[in-house]
Amino acid sequence: MKPASRAFKTNATRALENEPLQRALRGIKYGFVANRAKARASLPEFDRLRDEARAIKEHTLAHLDLYLEEYESKVIEAGGQVHWAASADDAREAILKICRDAGARSVTKGKSMVGEEIAINEHLEAAGIKAIETDLGEYLIQIRGEPPSHIIAPAIHLTMDQVEADFRNIHKNLPPERILDEPGQLVAEARAVLRDGFLAADVGITGANLLIAETGSSVIVTNEGNGDLTQCLPRVHIVIASIEKAVPTLEDANTILRILARSATGQECSTYTTYSTGPKRPGDPDGPEEFHVVLLDNGRTEMLGGAFHDMLRCIRCGACMNHCPVYGAVGGHAYGWVYPGPMGAVLTPSLIGIDEAGHLPNASTFCGRCEAVCPMRIPLPKLMRHWRMREYEKGNTPARYRWGLKLWAFAARRPWLYHALTGLGASLLARFGKRRGRIRSLPMAGGWTRHRDLPAPQGKTFQQLWRAQEKAS
23 touching other proteins, by CB under 8 A: no
Nearer to other proteins by Cβ, of 194 and 334: the residue is 334
Q: For other proteins, which residue of 84, 272, 418, 432 counts as binding (CB under 8 A)?
A: 418
Q: Taking contact as CB under 8 A, which single stretch among the options 77-85, 219-227, 297-305, 439-447 is the one that binds other proteins?
A: 439-447
Give me the least distance between CB of 363 and other proteins, in Å please: 6
Q: How many residues bind other proteins (CB under 8 A)?
A: 72
Nearer to other proteins by Cβ, of 266 and 433: the residue is 433
27 touching other proteins, by CB under 8 A: no
**CA angle, 352 as apex, 340 and 245 as ends, to 5°?**
65
Question: Rounded to a whole number, what is the distance in angstroms from the first to the last CA of the chain?
Answer: 69
What's the Cα-to-Cα distance from 346 to each of 276, 332, 361, rounded to whole Å?
30, 14, 6
Q: For other proteins, which residue of 34, 125, 415, 420 counts as binding (CB under 8 A)?
A: 415
Map the footprint of other proteins across residues 29-48, applying CB under 8 A.
29
Map the footprint of other proteins across residues 267-326, applying CB under 8 A.
325-326
> Coil, strand or helix: which one is 141?
helix
Q: What is the DSSP string of 221-264?
A: EESSSHHHHHHHSSSEEEEEEEGGGEES-HHHHHHHHHHHHHHH
Give me the least distance between CB of 59 and other proteins, in Å please: 24
Map the footprint of other proteins across residues 230-269, applying CB under 8 A.
none
What's the Cα-to-Cα distance from 161 to each of 24, 148, 365, 410, 435, rounded to whole Å?
11, 18, 33, 56, 49
Give me the least distance between CB of 13 and other proteins, in Å please: 6
Nearer to other proteins by Cβ, of 130 and 388: the residue is 388
Nearer to other proteins by Cβ, of 189 and 371: the residue is 371
What's the Cα-to-Cα distance from 396 to each of 71, 307, 343, 401, 403, rounded to whole Å?
41, 19, 21, 10, 13
Nearer to other proteins by Cβ, of 27 and 415: the residue is 415
Nearer to other proteins by Cβ, of 260 and 363: the residue is 363
**Among 316, 339, 11, 2, which residue's Cα sits nearest to residue 148?**
339
Nearer to other proteins by Cβ, of 257 and 374: the residue is 374
Burial of 2 (0-12, 13-18, 19+ CB in 10 A): exposed
Nearer to other proteins by Cβ, of 281 and 438: the residue is 438
Nearer to other proteins by Cβ, of 11 and 298: the residue is 11
144 touching other proteins, by CB under 8 A: no
457 touching other proteins, by CB under 8 A: yes
Structure letter (DSSP) for residue 202 = S
Give me the least distance between CB of 223 and other proteins, in Å please: 27
Task: Say if residues 357 and 349 touch (Cβ distance below 8 Å).
Answer: yes
| Cα(144)–Cα(125) distance, integer angstroms | 16
Question: Which residues in 422-454 are b (16+ Cβ under 10 Å) and which e?
Answer: beeebeebbeebeeeeebeeeeeeeeebeeeeb
451 touching other proteins, by CB under 8 A: yes
Q: For other proteins, which residue of 330, 351, 378, 380 counts as binding (CB under 8 A)?
A: 330
Map the footprint of other proteins across residues 123-142, applying CB under 8 A.
none
Beta bridge partners of 295: 84, 241
| Cα(274)–Cα(288) distance, integer angstroms | 14
Task: Say if residues 332 and 341 touch (Cβ distance below 8 Å).
Answer: yes
Nearer to other proteins by Cβ, of 275 and 366: the residue is 366
Task: Say if residues 207 and 220 touch (Cβ distance below 8 Å).
Answer: yes
Q: Taking contact as CB under 8 A, which single stretch among the options 41-49, 115-123, 295-303, 454-462 is the one that binds other proteins?
A: 454-462
Give me the least distance between CB of 389 and other proteins, in Å please: 4
Question: Which residues in 53-80 are b (16+ Cβ under 10 Å) and which e?
Answer: bbebbeebbeebeebbebbbebbeebeb
413 touching other proteins, by CB under 8 A: yes
Nearer to other proteins by Cβ, of 255 and 397: the residue is 397
Structure letter (DSSP) for residue 313 = G
Count of other CB atoms within 10 angstroms of residue 20: 12
428 touching other proteins, by CB under 8 A: no
422 touching other proteins, by CB under 8 A: yes
Q: Taking contact as CB under 8 A, which single stretch among the options 76-84, 173-181, 267-275, 437-445 is the one that binds other proteins?
A: 437-445
Give me the least distance between CB of 393 and other proteins, in Å please: 7
Map the footprint of other proteins across residues 346-405, applying CB under 8 A.
362-369, 371-372, 382, 385, 387-393, 397, 401-402, 405
Give me the least distance between CB of 289 and other proteins, in Å please: 51
Q: For other proteins, which residue of 13, 42, 73, 169 counts as binding (CB under 8 A)?
A: 13
409 touching other proteins, by CB under 8 A: yes
| Cα(47)–Cα(27) distance, integer angstroms | 26
| Cα(138)–Cα(153) distance, integer angstroms | 8
Beta bridge partners of 281: none
Q: Taking contact as CB under 8 A, which single stretch among the options 112-120, 179-187, 279-287, 415-423 is the one that binds other proteins?
A: 415-423
- Looking only at the bridges linking them, the beta strands covering 290-296 and 81-85 are parallel
